[in-house]
Each structure stands twice: as structure tokens, then as C-alpha cells.
Amino acid sequence: MFDWLEFDKSIKKGFEEQAAQLNSYLSKRIEKNAHIRDLPIFEEPGKETIDRILSMDIPAKGRDPVEVGNELVNDVFEQAMLTQHPRFFSFVASAVSPYSLAGSILTDVYNLHVGGWEQAPGAGAIEENLVKWMGRLAGYPETNIGGVFLSGASMANMSAMVTARDSRLAPEDFAKGVAYLSDQAHSSNQKGLRIIGFRQDQIVKIPTDDDFRMRADLLEEAICRDRQNGKIPFAIIGSLGSTNTGSIDPLTELGQIAQKYGLWFHIDGAFGASILISPIYSNLAKGIELSDSFSWDTHKWLMQIYSCSTLIVKDRKNLLNSFAEHPEYLADVRSSEHNDSWDLGPEMSRPARAIKLWYTLQATGTDLLAELIEYSFFNANLVKKELSKRPNWEIVSNPSCGTVNFRYAPAGLSDEALDELTGRISKEIINRGFAFIVTTTLKGKRTLRMCTINANTTEKDILQTISQLDEIAKYETANL
Ligand SMILES: Cc1ncc(COP(=O)(O)O)c(C=O)c1O
């Protein structure tokens, strides 16, 4: 029979033991992180480790928790890609703020339920405060700003499309709706539209110009053509910092077109919305004030632990319209004065994601974070400057939002050979363990992409990386 007293004792003992164990794991790793530059960028687990994990049974009787914890640290946490490394230049990956770490650990220890306001009013107030701050930075009028913290921009972009659909299309017209985005928009936007039921032919990709910005003239043409054919254009998605190149669409023109034809204007600012805090670069986001909604991943450029994204809308009644439900079992715990976040987005039980960002912003201040943004621009420009001093390097996309694309293109090689060479250079710099740089493809050309937004990346890191790339490029060309 179930022995509750025994169970209770074991749980208490478990918490006591785990507190000591956790302290030891944390202090060891935090000490290591302080010397992150000396750590390997990618410690790949051996095949036997992965095979062992895959073949492990879930035991009927629990094992020694210290052994389990040690296994996790050694086999899982320590053997992975260190995306926080200062020479990890792929994805949109940044260093982690110590205050975000502290906020994140506290969030787990307290395990607040922030589905509704009443369960944790302080956390609700922090979330509302930050959403309003973000909206104000974008130039939204204060009174109606609304928003919700979500796991990532994939969720934020999808939730924005739910709101756009419900605001601009009658249910019987869903099958005629069309959404527009550029050929450089992040795949999460298209994926979100598909998840919520739009067919591929209802998602129109507009070509970009030489700077990878959406062609506003072609957008307007497409909207007019679709209207003439009986379709109902309902949403434009602009990019503020595209993943490939950091490019920023002509937001003002897109906003004006959205207003002219009555479309919802969403901006994917997952990456680039952070420039709003920089007095020097925020003007690049001009036009965002015309949008109806935007997403902002602070786990990208603002040094947050993952799962810290926000969807911000100009008028929160649109979120309530799409997401509010009133089940009888929540009737007693609804807030009478504030919006409950389960009414503002797709989630119910969720962690207090805003707390780590609040901790960081309060402890660091926006001045220093703005300098980080400006430093990222400086580093991407430095990459271009250094490459331009050396023969055969071609800049394929100019630095934008701390992102630059380039390739080694000596005369006389075919397009296929150049693509092959680019792939080999990426592979070799990763094999050397010096820097992590992968390729992407821009207008048919395979390129090396560097995203220089890590606060710990130094000028020396950049100079040494370029020097190694140059050496590898010469060697690989000779051996092609
Ligand atoms: C521009 C852009 N939008 C959306 C996303 C998806 O964000 P998440 O990975 O937080 O879901 C990314 C991810 O890199 C991105 O760069």
C-alpha cells in the first residue's frame, strides 16, 4: 500500500540533497563560464554516449540521484554546441546575462503559475510593464498596448497571424485570405500561417532588392492582382532584422500599403527589435509605429536565457478577441482589474518568462545594453573592413544588424566550385574548433554568414577569425 509518510520523507530528503548537489553543479559551471573563451565551441558526444542514452530504460525503482545528475552534466550539458561562445558566429546567438541566469533560476525554484494575474500579481505587473515599455519604444500609443511573453518568435509570429486573421477576415472568408512576406522572411512566419490552416498558395513571397529588403512596389502589385482575382489580402509581414542578412524591410512603405488596403501589418522583430533601445540605431526601425503587432526575442540580442520572446500589439483588444475563453473552472480566479495572460495568447500554464528580462534590465540598465547593440554593428563592420583588405573576398550582403555574408571568390572558378569552396571553408574552421561559421544561400550564391552579436566577442576574436578564414580559403582553393 502507498506509504505517504515514507514518500513525504523521501521527497524532503530529495530536496535537501538536491540543494547541495545543485549548488555544486552551478558553482562549477558558472566558474567555467567565466573563462568561456577557453572552452571548446563544440564538444560532440561520442556515438556510444548517444546509443547508451537511446537504449536506457525508465526504471521501476529510482536510481541514485547523484549518479543521474552527474550523468546529465557529463553526457548532455557538457557535450553540446556552446552557442554562447564568443566565436560562435552562427544562428542569432548571444552571450547570457548573469542577471538573466539568476532570474531564470529563481523562476524555476519558485515555479510560479502565471497563466492568470491573481496567482502571481507581481509577475503579472512585471510582464505588463515590459510589454508597455516595448510598445512605447515602437511608438505605439500607451493606452491600448497589449502583449504576452511566449517561448519564442515562432510562437509570437504564429499568434500574430491568428490575431491578423481574426481581425481582418470573416470566418467564411478564411479560405480566400492571402498573407505577404518577403523571400527573406524567417520560415517561422510561413510555418505559423500553415499551422493555423492557410494553404501554401495563400502565402505569397515577395522578391527582395539588392539589399535583401522586400520590394514594396512588387508587394502592392501582388495585393492589387489578388484583389482583382477575388482573393482577400489580410496581412503583410515585414522583417526587422532578417535571419540571413540582418536586413530591414522598408517598414514605412509597407505600413502605408497596409493602411491603404486595410491589411494587418505585423513585423517580425525577433532579432532586430532590440535596436529600439539604441539611440544611434533605433531610427533604422522607423515605420514600426505603423505596425499592428511585432515580435521581439530578447533571448537573441538582449542576453536572455532561452524562452524569452514577446508579442506586442498596438491594441490589446485584438488579442482578447482571438484568445480569450471563459471556462467555468477559472471563474473564481479571474482578475477583475487586469488582463489574465491566458486570455492574451495561446498558453495557459507557463513560466514567468518576463522576470529574467526584468532582472537584467533593472540591474544592467538600457545604456549598457544599447552599447552592446552598437558594438555588434561595429564588429560586423570590422569583418567587412578586414576582408576588404585581402584579395578575392566578396561581400555578398553588407553588414546589417551585426550580420554580414561573404565568400572567397577567386577568378576563374565556376559557380558550383565556389559553392563547394565555401562549404569546405566553413567545415574546416569548425573542425579546427576555432570559430563556428556555417553557410547560407543568398540569391543563388552559397555564402559564409557571421552574426557578431555576442557581447564577449572582442576585436581580436574577429581579426583572428578572418585571418584563419583567409588561410583556410587559400589552402582549400589550391586543393579544390
Ligand atoms: C527573424 C527571426 N524570426 C523568427 C525566428 C524564430 O525564433 P524562435 O527560434 O525564437 O522561435 C528567428 C530565429 O532565429 C529569427 O531569426
Q: Tell me the best of 243, 248, 294, 309 to mutate to test the pocket of ligand 1, counting ligand atoms within 8 Å of each CB and taking the most.
A: 243
Helix 366-388 with 459-478: angle, nearest 10 deg: 30
By residue count, the chain amounts to: 480
Please report whether residue 100 resides in a domain: no
Please check whether residues 277 and 395 belong to one and the same domain.
no
Residue 237 and residue 266 in contact, taking contact as beta carbons nearer than 8 Å: yes
Please check whether residues 434 and 474 belong to one and the same domain.
yes
pLDDT value, residue 57: 97
Specify the residue with its C-alpha closest to ligand 1, atom 7.
153
Please report whether residue 104 resides in a domain: no
- Average pLDDT in the 25-30 region? 94
d(C-alpha 46, C-alpha 51), whole Å: 9
Copy the grid coordinates of residue 221.
502589385
Atom of ligand 1 nearest to the CA of 243: 16
Please check whether residues 351 and 372 belong to one and the same domain.
no
d(C-alpha 57, C-alpha 341), whole Å: 39
Cβ of residue 267 lying under 6 Å from some atom of ligand 1: no
Q: 105 burial class (0-12, 13-18, 19+ CB within 10 angstroms)?
A: middle
- Average pLDDT in the 374-403 region? 98
Q: Which of 310, 336, 364 is the last residue of a domain?
A: 364
d(C-alpha 368, C-alpha 192), whole Å: 34
Q: Tell me the best of 83, 89, 188 to mutate to test the pocket of ligand 1, counting ligand atoms within 8 Å of each CB and taking the most.
A: 188
Read off the pLDDT of residues 109-131 as tens digits, 9 standing for 90 and up.
999 999 999 999 999 999 999 99
Q: How many separate domains does the chain show?
A: 3
Q: Up-side HSE of residue 393: CA atoms within 13 Å toward CB?
A: 25
Please check whether residues 164 and 297 belong to one and the same domain.
yes
Please check whether residues 129 and 41 belong to one and the same domain.
no
Please report whether residue 101 resides in a domain: no
Ligand 1 centroid from CA 91, angstroms: 9
Cβ of residue 151 lying under 6 Å from some atom of ligand 1: no
d(C-alpha 401, C-alpha 308), whole Å: 20
Read off the pLDDT of residues 174-195 as tens digits, 9 standing for 90 and up.
999 999 999 999 999 999 999 9
Residue 344 and residue 148 in contact, taking contact as beta carbons nearer than 8 Å: yes
Please check whether residues 216 and 347 belong to one and the same domain.
yes
Cβ of residue 243 lying under 6 Å from some atom of ligand 1: yes
Cβ of residue 276 lying under 6 Å from some atom of ligand 1: no
- Average pLDDT in the 411-431 region? 98
- Find the distance separating the first CA and the last CA of the chain, reported in whole Å: 71
Domain that holds residue 133: 112-364
pLDDT value, residue 1: 76
Specify the residue with its C-alpha closest to ligand 1, atom 16.
243
- Average pLDDT in the 4-20 region? 85
Please report whether residue 347 resides in a domain: yes
Please check whether residues 183 and 234 belong to one and the same domain.
yes
Q: 199 burial class (0-12, 13-18, 19+ CB within 10 angstroms)?
A: exposed
Whether pTM > 0.95 for this model: the answer is: yes
